[in-house]
Chains A and B, each alone.
Chain A
Amino acid sequence: MSAALAQMRTAPVLPMLRKQAWAEFIKLFRVPAFSTTSIVLPAMFYAFIGLGQAKTPLAPGSHVTFGEYFLASMALYGVANVMVLGFGISLANERGQKQDLLMQSTPLPAYVFFVAKALSALVIALMAVVVLSVLAAAAGGVDLTATQWATLAYRAMLCSVPFIGLGFALGYLAGPNSAPAVTNLIYLPTAFASGLFFPLHLLPQFLQNIAPYLPLYRGAQLVWDSVGAPIEGGSLTTDWLYMAGFTVAFFALALWAYRRDQGRKFN
């Protein structure tokens, strides 16, 4: 009996996680449609919208340039973009191809699979921030202190966390064919409505009214502050609390969507 019990073991989790995360990364990276849109798109927006007026002060007399302000905006846009699109569309596709069917019968714990996906998406998000920052520093004359660069990077990365939950939820709620449309329909307008592309005061009044309840708006305050740009009002603590709340809410939604999908398929 003890011999039989001794055989009853599972593989160590850490090597599994390492391999799974690497596999998830190359899966994303080898799809040019995904890797270019996620890594290059924020930099491209920066080139089109930001570079022309990069060295102009944000407001008369301000020491913060538009280039610095827009760098922060695009960094946040970029990381959240990777999470919502990378996570959401790739999960929906994998479900569409019934990849979950085979995974379900392996001894890979579900949490390892999701942590691996999150890690790979975080790495790609970081790459997007690096590409964008290099462009902003080289061509946009952005001049930040080391502390500011570090603050911008970690805040942007932290702000991407709730979007992991959102992407995860969308991946289980949207069908494989509708996922790109649904995620873009949700993500792009909220990026605009949160003031990431145009300052909020240029937007219609009703959007200005709902903006404070959008996660990208809260994230935007945190990244703008990191480069020294003025924030819309309220305190950073409130913004962090909102982000924590969104994280909990989106992950709860994701868990619900996941269980609903599993229940349909595997009961």
Chain B
Amino acid sequence: MVELQNVSKRFGEVQALDDVSLAIDTGEVVAMLGPNGAGKTTSISIMLGTRRPTSGTARLFGLDPRDLRARARIGVMLQESGVPGMLKVAEIVSLFASYYPQPLRTQEAISLAGLEEKSGSLVKDLSGGQRQRLYLALAVCGNPDVLFLDEPTVGMDVEGRRKFLQEVGEFAAKGRTVVLTTHYLEEADQLAKRVIVVDRGHVIADSTPAAIKARVAGKRIAFTPAQPLTAADLDGLPLLSSQVDDGHVRLLTNQPEDVLRELFRRGVEMGSLEVAGADLEEAFLAMTHHEEAR
């Protein structure tokens, strides 16, 4: 359905993608994860045909992605794209719907994106989060088989993000294909059954969220120390990473027992201690950090 074959992309000196091959099937919900500049947006642009690969081929429904028949079956939310501010929400959704052969009804697309109350407002008067919802309405109004979402929840608050993901989830539940890029790991975990990790133009992992977590065997130790930690407290411990903010400490390690024993020996007093398997975010950080070290 969506296919990249040995795709490489150079922008001048920068190798944005290096020999990437992947195929996405009908009904899959796929998250592309990676740090900024990893090549996520470039991958999506090539899948959509808004950028051409330097070498390799991209196919959408077996067609060139620039073929309007292929575009008629996709919906797209892009980072930083603009829309005319002087149109009303209902006007622009109905306009975009007219581009597609079997569109949703305008009101349906608007309510799917949770924008009913704003349907008579000018686009320029929408808040950042509402604007993202408008982009979702524009992406689904053509009743697409595949939905591409490039960093869709940037600029949304926690509640807005939760609702947004729920709406995308409802759409995916109808058997549609969803491809989203994100660097919010919980988004991938919540929505996707398949996660493709991209780092510096390479696919470094392609599997289920659980399998990616399993790649980092480590445990997370989290606690709130009674006294602020000093550098000496953590010195020499077998840690994969450590994070101290607002008096809260998060440590990632393969030897949680040794770390805890040593911390107790050093007399660190801990409140709300928690030891758990690393979540996707930590797995991801460890993986891309690992790449960095090489």
Contacts and interface: CB of A to CB of B under 8 A. Distances in A.
Say if A and B assemble together: yes
A31 B72 contact: no
Contacts of B87: 23, 26-27
A146 interface: no
Contacts of A26: 86-87, 91
Contact of A99 (B69, B82, B96, B103): B82
Contacts of B248: none
Interface stretch (B47-55, B167-175, B198-206, B221-229): B47-55
Contacts of B83: 99, 102
A9 interface: yes
Contacts of A102: 76, 78, 81-83, 135, 138
Interface in A63-122: 94, 97-99, 101-102, 104-109
B61 interface: yes
B101 interface: yes
Interface residues of B, number: 39
A267 interface: yes
Contact of A9 (B63, B72, B84, B122): B72
B84 A23 contact: yes
B72 A10 contact: yes
Contact of B95 (A23, A30, A97, A104): A23
A11 interface: yes
B99 A99 contact: no
Interface range on chain A (Cβ under 8 Å from partner): 20 to 34
Interface in B37-80: 48-52, 61, 63, 68-74, 76, 78, 80
B92 interface: yes
Interface of A: 7-11, 15-16, 19-20, 23, 26-27, 30-31, 94, 97-99, 101-102, 104-109, 266-267
Given A9-B69, A99-B84, 17 more contacts: A8-B69, A9-B72, A9-B101, A10-B68, A10-B101, A15-B98, A19-B95, A19-B98, A20-B95, A26-B91, A27-B86, A94-B84, A102-B76, A104-B50, A105-B78, A106-B99, A107-B100
Interface of B: 48-52, 61, 63, 68-74, 76, 78, 80-87, 91-92, 94-96, 98-101, 103, 122, 135, 138, 142, 148
